[in-house]
């Protein structure tokens, strides 16, 4: 049958992508099922439950705090007029460009015993020693929650704001007529309607939180991620590390199930007429200033203070920090990020297209498989990727032996490993962005194109791709930022003489000498602005 054969081409590619990108996860799970549970049992009897508790508290804490920050911000910017609103709309996204370990370090420096804040307080009040007063210690679990939430809330902010925009403001107005105050309509109308979007954003935030390593290790908060690290390199037990990874993945799975379950109950809403700018709440007097104050406070805490501190370091320590090798670090980071962005986009176009045109019963599976890598934190990912790659490499070399050839470490010894690891990890981002763009294209366009003599491939090229342009750009930029910031996998997988901006920064942060890497850190943040600008603009244009 002609068409069945043609579809096989797409099917083959989609399934190949799905299987290859999920292979690391399976290898990891296999490894974790190996014997030798001695180390794991020991941990189970001693510290594992504390790790689990800390991880759960961290994730829940970050989720709650992100809601407290992002939901009001989203509501204010979507439905109200107040001084500075237009600037806040995009400025509140900026913290996303900042890696968590940088913001963590900056605040530790500021709020430490020997930091400017406490020194000023002591001078002011005449206290002499730590026993004279109480000041909160930032290097604790609550401190980590605050740091991570300050960096990740923009995900929720953006998604919630967009969801609100896509709901009809008329619903809020109707609730006004029924006597609800703005507060009440926020809780009983907007929040409820956006439940699906909120839960999706929180799922994303939870995954990022669980994957964080740099901040929690710096703050000496023991979570499952740090446990993976410790177990692999402390106990030298890959199996135990893999088992702990398994526990993490289980938690993640539960969280994702909860997310999916809550979405199931929500009807699919067609995009209704957007917000008419004249019909927004116009805040006056005290409420206006309160809104501005709240937005400013978050912006200052999450972005302005850290960037100012970074700038001051860069200026003060310029001589020591400026490294002629800086350009090579930047080049490495940019090169890797660019290749990975392109690769993930190309792959996800084909996989999502397959989902669209497939007639088989489970077209969603390849895409879901390929997206599993997102759940793996950097350190775990590094192990997971090395497992199959080494296998492949060894097999190739064994096959070539009779010919006296070998490819050496062509795979694992080059940046190919990092690129593959990043593609595995960040594929999900590209897939999600492209999937939501694809879904907006009516299926009748496909049917029209086909009836007019165009094959599936031509339809993809002539009809879908032009319409997906904005989605592609958004996807590429999102993946780009993540690659620039990524750290643990790069540390473990890098080939000789490979130094990226992130690895360079981290090396100094972990020695409490961020000043010396401040220029690289600034560069990471600045490069992170570019995609943010485009994402925000595309969101604006859509609504």
Least Cβ distance, residue 144 to another protein (angstroms): 12
Calpha distance 203→80 (Å, rounded): 27
331 forms part of the interface with another protein (CB under 8 A): no
Closest CB to another protein among 113 and 269? 113
Residue from 50, 60, 276, 289 touching another protein (CB under 8 A): that is: 50
Specify the DSSP element, H or E, that contains 184: helix 182-185
Calpha distance 21→19 (Å, rounded): 6
Task: Return the residues of window 185-224 that contact another protein according to CB under 8 A.
Answer: 219-220, 222
Cα-trace Rg, the chain: 25
Distances (CA, A) of 25 to 28, 97, 105, 246: 5, 28, 32, 10
542 forms part of the interface with another protein (CB under 8 A): no
512 forms part of the interface with another protein (CB under 8 A): yes
Closest CB to another protein among 201 and 349? 349
Closest CB to another protein among 282 and 447? 447
Least Cβ distance, residue 103 to another protein (angstroms): 17
116 forms part of the interface with another protein (CB under 8 A): no
Least Cβ distance, residue 17 to another protein (angstroms): 18
Residue from 26, 90, 235, 326 touching another protein (CB under 8 A): that is: 235
Q: Which stretch binds another protein (CB under 8 A): 16-24, 169-177, 252-260, 490-498?
A: 490-498
1 forms part of the interface with another protein (CB under 8 A): yes
Least Cβ distance, residue 50 to another protein (angstroms): 5
56 forms part of the interface with another protein (CB under 8 A): no
495 forms part of the interface with another protein (CB under 8 A): yes
Calpha distance 201→219 (Å, rounded): 25
Closest CB to another protein among 431 and 494? 494
Least Cβ distance, residue 288 to another protein (angstroms): 37
Per the structure block, which two tokens stand in for 160?
A: 């919630």
Task: Return the residues of window 252-311 that contact another protein according to CB under 8 A.
Answer: none
Closest to 202 in 3D by CA, of 239, 246, 255: 255
Least Cβ distance, residue 491 to another protein (angstroms): 6
Task: Return the residues of window 5-34 that contact another protein according to CB under 8 A.
Answer: 6
463 forms part of the interface with another protein (CB under 8 A): yes
450 forms part of the interface with another protein (CB under 8 A): yes
Specify the DSSP element, H or E, that contains 93: none
Phi, psi for residue 282 in degrees, rounded to 5: -105, 115
Closest CB to another protein among 285 and 466? 466
Residue from 19, 20, 47, 301 touching another protein (CB under 8 A): that is: 47
361 forms part of the interface with another protein (CB under 8 A): yes
In the numeric block, the tokens 């913001």 are attached to: 103
- Output the 3-class SS for 318-357: HHHHCCCCHHHHHHHHHHHHHHHHHHHHHHHHHHHHHHHH
Instruction: Please state the length of the chain.
Output: 543
Closest CB to another protein among 368 and 454? 454
Alpha helix stretches (DSSP H) within 234-325: 238-264, 285-299, 305-316, 318-321
Question: Which residues are within 8 A (CB) of 155 and not within 5 positions of it... i.e. 6 or more apart?
Answer: 66, 70, 96, 201, 204, 205, 208
Question: Does residue 70 contact residue 157 with C-beta atoms inside 8 Å?
Answer: yes
Q: What is the DSSP letter of 281?
A: E
Least Cβ distance, residue 443 to another protein (angstroms): 9
36 forms part of the interface with another protein (CB under 8 A): no
User: What is the full DSSP assignment across 29-82?
Assistant: HHHHTSS--HHHHHHHHTTHHHHHHHHHHHHHHHHHHHHHHHHHHHHHHHHEE-
Q: Which stretch binds another protein (CB under 8 A): 27-35, 111-119, 306-314, 476-484?
A: 111-119
Residue from 105, 160, 186, 232 touching another protein (CB under 8 A): that is: 232
Closest CB to another protein among 383 and 483? 383
Question: Does residue 302 contact residue 95 with C-beta atoms inside 8 Å?
Answer: yes
530 forms part of the interface with another protein (CB under 8 A): no
In the numeric block, the tokens 């194109």 are attached to: 449
540 forms part of the interface with another protein (CB under 8 A): no
Closest CB to another protein among 140 and 312? 140
Residue from 147, 156, 415, 527 touching another protein (CB under 8 A): that is: 415
Least Cβ distance, residue 167 to another protein (angstroms): 22
Closest CB to another protein among 297 and 511? 511
Least Cβ distance, residue 360 to another protein (angstroms): 12
Task: Return the residues of window 365-384 that contact another protein according to CB under 8 A.
Answer: 382-383
What is the Cβ-side half-sphere exposure of residue 240, based on CA atoms within 13 angstroms? 23
444 forms part of the interface with another protein (CB under 8 A): yes
Task: Return the residues of window 124-163 that contact another protein according to CB under 8 A.
Answer: 129-130, 137, 139-140
Closest CB to another protein among 277 and 451? 451
Residue from 184, 360, 436, 455 touching another protein (CB under 8 A): that is: 455
Closest to 494 in 3D by CA, of 391, 423, 419: 419
CA 237 to chain centre: 28
Calpha distance 382→489 (Å, rounded): 5
167 forms part of the interface with another protein (CB under 8 A): no
In the numeric block, the tokens 């007063």 are attached to: 133
In the numeric block, the tokens 């930029």 are attached to: 477
Q: 425-460 as b/e, with b when 16 or more CB fall inside 10 Å?
A: bbbbbbbbbbbebbeeeeeeebeebbeeebebeebb
Closest CB to another protein among 170 and 320? 320
Question: Does residue 489 contact residue 381 with C-beta atoms inside 8 Å?
Answer: yes
Task: Return the residues of window 336-355 that contact another protein according to CB under 8 A.
Answer: 339
């Amino acid at each position: 049958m002609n068409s069945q054969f043609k579809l096989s081409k797409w099917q083959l590619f989609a399934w190949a992508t799905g299987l290859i990108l999920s292979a690391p996860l399976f290898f990891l799970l296999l490894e974790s099922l190996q014997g030798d549970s001695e180390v794991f049992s020991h941990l189970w009897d001693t510290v594992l439950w504390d790790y689990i508790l800390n991880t759960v508290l961290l994730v829940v804490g970050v989720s709650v705090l992100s809601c407290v920050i992002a939901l009001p911000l989203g509501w204010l910017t979507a439905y109200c007029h107040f001084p500075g609103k237009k600037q806040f709309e995009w400025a509140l996204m900026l913290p996303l460009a900042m890696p968590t370990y940088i913001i963590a370090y900056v605040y530790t420096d500021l709020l430490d015993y020997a930091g400017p804040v406490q020194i000023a307080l002591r001078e002011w009040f005449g206290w002499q020693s730590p026993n004279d007063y109480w000041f909160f210690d930032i290097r604790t679990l609550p401190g980590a929650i605050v740091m991570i939430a300050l960096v990740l809330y923009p995900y929720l902010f953006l998604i919630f704001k967009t969801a609100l925009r896509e709901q009809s403001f008329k619903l809020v107005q109707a609730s006004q007529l029924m006597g609800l105050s703005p507060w009440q309509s926020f809780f009983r109308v907007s929040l409820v309607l956006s439940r699906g979007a909120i839960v999706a954003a929180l799922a994303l935030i939870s995954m990022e939180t669980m994957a964080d390593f740099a901040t929690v290790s710096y703050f000496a908060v023991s979570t499952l991620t740090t446990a993976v690290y410790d177990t692999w390199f402390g106990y030298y037990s890959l199996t135990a590390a893999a088992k702990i990874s398994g526990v993490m993945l289980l938690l993640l799975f539960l969280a994702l199930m909860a997310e999916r379950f809550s979405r199931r109950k929500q009807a699919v809403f067609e995009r209704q007429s957007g917000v008419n700018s004249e019909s927004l709440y116009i805040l006056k007097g005290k409420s206006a200033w309160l809104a501005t104050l709240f937005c400013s406070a978050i912006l200052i805490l999450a972005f302005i203070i850290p960037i100012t501190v970074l700038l001051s370091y860069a200026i003060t320590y310029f001589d020591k920090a400026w490294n002629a090798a800086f350009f090579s670090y930047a080049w490495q980071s940019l090169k890797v990020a660019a290749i990975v962005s392109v690769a993930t986009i190309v792959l996800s176009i084909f996989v999502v297209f397959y989902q669209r045109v497939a007639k088989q019963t489970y077209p969603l599976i390849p895409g879901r498989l390929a997206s599993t890598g997102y759940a793996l934190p950097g350190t775990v990912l590094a192990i997971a990727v090395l497992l199959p790659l080494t296998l492949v490499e060894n097999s190739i070399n064994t096959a070539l032996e009779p010919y006296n050839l070998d490819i050496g470490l062509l795979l694992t010894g080059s940046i190919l490993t990092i690129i593959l690891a990043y593609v595995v990890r960040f594929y999900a981002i590209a897939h999600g962005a492209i999937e939501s763009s694809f879904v907006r294209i009516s299926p009748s366009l496909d049917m029209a194109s086909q009836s007019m003599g165009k094959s599936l491939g031509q339809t993809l090229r002539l009809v879908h791709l032009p319409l997906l342009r904005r989605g592609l750009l958004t996807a590429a930029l999102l993946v780009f930022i993540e690659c620039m910031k990524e750290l643990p996998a790069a540390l473990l997988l890098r080939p000789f003489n490979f130094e990226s901006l992130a690895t360079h920064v981290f090396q100094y942060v972990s020695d409490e000498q961020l000043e010396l890497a401040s220029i690289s850190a600034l560069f990471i943040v600045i490069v992170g602005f570019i995609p943010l600008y485009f994402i925000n603009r595309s969101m604006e244009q859509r609504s």
